[in-house]
């Protein structure tokens, strides 16, 4: 990759450019209406070359709509376009398609993956930008018969992956990779492009572990130093404080403020985003969990989930506890819940309330009062072109005969029951939508996640497995979701198994937390255990040091 580096006197020692005083991107007085409802009102955004600019706001604040305008998405132009102007390098531009945006040097790392599973990592990174062999014979061939230079493509893909400090081989296929790796591949594809001037990161760390997120933030700084302007959309305000230069905050489609990072703090940003003071994540009182019956028992449990294999794992989870599972990407934490629910091949022994669970059978797991919220909401969790209310109801209708009217000879779904329940879930989880009939594909990522949670709760589970429950959810809604899990545990006695890449999230609500390393339990810690113990377990070094009596 050869990013556009600004060669002028405005550089520091070592050739790294200072942030240009000239705006590489300027969006002025941007307004947008959808069917008579104004979702953006005179928004201004200005970014300099080499600047990391954080764009903040709750779900529904208008961030995605503003970026859809910048990227020329069809949803904007098929609904009447927008008001306002966009300037790139001081020149007014009319961006009518993503292809045009890319030609102008605008790249976007979408929150939802745009990868082709059957292609290799290199093929995904170089898609539509394949390199052709330059030998004499190949030059004489017609375009349709020219051979691609796979070796050179692999080298360039490797360079982009190394920028992100990701050690995965470039020649393997994307199918079956953990979502954390997919996110890095999305980013590698954008930074591999030759003409990038502005790069949009939409929740890039939402699916990453803490160490992966740290690597990505370092890579963002490196990319910015090359002269590329970065728009950083995130709900993780500590990351904003770490890497951003300036911050723009939106709320309900309105411009709220633009601030330098040095002139604000996490608490002020949170209040400006939501218009109210944000409380810390609620902890709940400790329980004497280990005197309770065992709800889930795993013995020699193996799961063949690509990139998240589980190997001879032994674990007991007690009835009525909130049990956390953490660990680095690729170590197996994601595979545990997917294996229990039968979504990936598994073997070993699983007991639910002392009774064996038939493995590799999702319907059997649901019949045993288990419910699952997947980390892959679009691939597994949702029917994207179906309404919110049907997404919420369908699993319970198929497996629990809920929302059905029994006419003896046949049964029919009860639209009234489905609607009533959906309205209740929308209110409880604060799902931002136009109504229960809205198509799920048109929801923001965070609200799609809430629909997944609502569908799981509709099964009335006694054991709820939740994987990355707050991925892509804004700071205000995150507390609501976690408080909901605490309430379900406390008031209904539901045993909750929560897998998360965010240790702070696990430590805020869990009774105990297991750290997974190399497919096995490295150890189980209490939430208030030392950061050192958590760090050693995450790195897989805890038991090695303990055996040497260092700890």
Q: Which CATH class is domain 23-114+194-274?
A: alpha beta
Mean pLDDT, range 152-177, rounded to an integer: 82
Average pLDDT of the chain to the nearest whole number: 83
Please report which confidence band the pLDDT of residue 17 belongs to, taking 50, 70 and 90 as the band edges: very low
What are the residue ranges spanned by the domains of the chain? 23-114+194-274, 291-369+461-475+489-551, 381-460
Query: Which contiguous run of DSSP H or E holds residue 55?
Result: strand 52-56
323 three-class SS: strand
What pLDDT sits at residue 548?
63
What pLDDT sits at residue 192?
81
Q: Is the pLDDT of residue 112 over 70?
A: no
Top pLDDT among 241 and 411 is at: 241
Please report which confidence band the pLDDT of residue 545 belongs to, taking 50, 70 and 90 as the band edges: low
With both helix axes pointing from N to C terminus, report the angle between 475-492 and 445-457 in degrees, rounded to the nearest 10: 10
Considering 1-15, 60-74, 373-387, the range whose residues carry the highest mean pLDDT is: 60-74
Top pLDDT among 476 and 80 is at: 80
The conformation of residue 378, written as its DSSP 8-state character, comes to I
What pLDDT sits at residue 100?
92
Q: Which CATH class is domain 291-369+461-475+489-551?
A: alpha beta
Q: Which two tokens stand for residue 370?
A: 């288990």
pLDDT tens, position by position, 319-330: 999 999 988 777
Across the chain, how many H-helices and E-strands are there? 19, 22
Q: Is the pLDDT of residue 479 over 70?
A: yes
Q: How many CB atoms lie within 10 A of CB 70?
A: 23
Mean pLDDT, range 73-83, rounded to an integer: 90
Q: How many CB atoms lie within 10 A of CB 12?
A: 9
Lowest mean pLDDT among 86-100, 113-127, 453-467: 113-127
- Whether 291-369+461-475+489-551 and 23-114+194-274 are alike in CATH topology: the answer is yes
DSSP per residue over 137-178, as a string? HHHHS-GGGPPB-HHHHHHHHHHHHHHTT----TTSBSTT--
Q: How many CB atoms lie within 10 A of CB 265?
A: 11
**Cβ–Cβ under 8 Å, residues 302 and 490:** no
Q: Is the pLDDT of residue 550 over 70?
A: no
């Amino acid at each position: 990759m050869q990013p556009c580096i600004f060669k002028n006197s405005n550089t520091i020692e070592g050739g790294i450019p200072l942030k240009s005083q000239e705006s590489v991107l300027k969006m002025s007085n941007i307004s947008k209406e959808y069917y008579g409802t104004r979702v953006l009102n005179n928004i201004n955004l200005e970014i300099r070359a080499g600047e990391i600019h954080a764009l903040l706001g709750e779900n529904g604040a208008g961030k995605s709509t503003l970026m859809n305008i910048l990227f020329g998405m069809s949803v904007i132009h098929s609904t009447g376009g927008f008001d306002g102007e966009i300037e790139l390098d001081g020149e007014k531009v009319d961006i009518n398609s993503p292809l045009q945006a890319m030609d102008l040097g605008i790249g976007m790392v979408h929150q939802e993956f745009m990868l082709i599973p059957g292609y290799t990592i290199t093929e995904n990174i170089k898609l539509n930008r394949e390199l052709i062999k330059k030998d004499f014979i190949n030059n004489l061939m017609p375009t349709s018969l020219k051979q691609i230079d796979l070796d050179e493509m692999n080298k360039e893909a490797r360079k982009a992956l190394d920028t992100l400090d990701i050690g995965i081989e470039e020649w393997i296929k994307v199918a079956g990779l953990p979502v954390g790796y997919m996110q890095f591949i999305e980013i590698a594809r954008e930074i591999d492009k030759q003409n990038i001037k502005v790069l949009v990161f939409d929740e890039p760390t939402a699916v990453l572990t803490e160490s992966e997120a740290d690597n990505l933030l370092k890579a963002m700084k490196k990319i910015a130093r090359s002269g590329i302007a970065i728009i950083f959309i995130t709900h993780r305000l500590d990351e904003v404080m770490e890497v951003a230069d300036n911050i723009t905050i939106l709320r309900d489609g309105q411009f709220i403020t633009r601030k330098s990072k040095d002139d604000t703090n996490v608490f002020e940003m949170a209040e400006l985003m939501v218009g109210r003071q944000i409380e810390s994540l609620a902890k709940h009182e400790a329980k004497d969990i280990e005197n309770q019956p065992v709800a889930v028992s795993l013995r020699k449990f193996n799961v063949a989930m690509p990139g998240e294999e589980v190997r001879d794992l032994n674990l007991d989870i007690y009835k009525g506890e909130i049990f956390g599972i953490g660990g680095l990407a690729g170590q197996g934490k994601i595979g545990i819940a997917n294996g229990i629910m039968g979504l990936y091949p598994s073997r070993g022994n699983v007991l639910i309330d002392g009774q064996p669970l038939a493995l590799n059978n999702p319907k059997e797991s649901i019949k045993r009062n288990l419910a699952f919220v997947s980390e892959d909401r679009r691939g597994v969790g949702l029917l994207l072109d179906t309404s919110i209310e049907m997404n919420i109801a369908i699993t319970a209708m198929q497996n629990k005969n809920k929302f059905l009217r029994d006419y003896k000879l046949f049964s029919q779904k009860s639209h009234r029951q489905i609607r009533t329940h959906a309205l209740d879930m929308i209110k409880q989880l604060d799902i931002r939508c136009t109504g229960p009939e809205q198509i799920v594909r048109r929801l923001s990522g965070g609200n799609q996640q809430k629909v997944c949670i609502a569908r799981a709760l509709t099964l009335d589970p006694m054991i709820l497995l939740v994987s990355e429950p707050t991925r892509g959810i804004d700071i205000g809604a995150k507390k609501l979701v976690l408080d909901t899990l605490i309430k379900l545990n406390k008031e209904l006695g539901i045993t909750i198994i929560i897998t998360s890449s965010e240790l702070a999230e696990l430590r805020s609500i869990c009774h105990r937390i297991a750290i997974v390393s190399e497919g096995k339990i490295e150890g189980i810690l209490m939430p208030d255990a030392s950061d050192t113990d958590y760090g050693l377990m995450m790195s897989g070094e805890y038991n090695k040091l303990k055996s040497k009596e260092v700890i």
